[in-house]
Amino acid sequence: MRVVGRPEDQPLLTTAELSRRLNVTAGTVQRWVRTGRIRPTLVTPGGQYRFSLDDVRDQLGQPRRRPDAD
């Protein structure tokens, strides 16, 4: 699945993956979606959420992490 406007090097995360990255429970992520605090980047035909970490950080007002300079 390709999402227009999203860098290909940034994979979309599941609810569980996002919750681990943000150090919150999956239930918290689901509640944030339900209350409109964050929006998923994609909703699959089966109703599962996929998230861009940068988009979620922007929505939560958290700074983005810069890629390591080589």
Per-residue model confidence (pLDDT) at position 52: 97
Q: Which residue has the higher pLDDT, 10 or 17?
A: 17
SS3 55: helix
Beta-strand pair 49-50/42-43: antiparallel
Please give the distance of CA 29 from its chain centroid, rounded to a whole number: 9
Which tokens is 62 given?
């958290």
Helices (H) and strands (E) in the chain, counts: 3, 2
Q: What is the mean pLDDT of residues 9-15?
A: 91
Tens digit of each residue's pLDDT (9 = 90 or more) over 31-45: 999 999 999 999 999
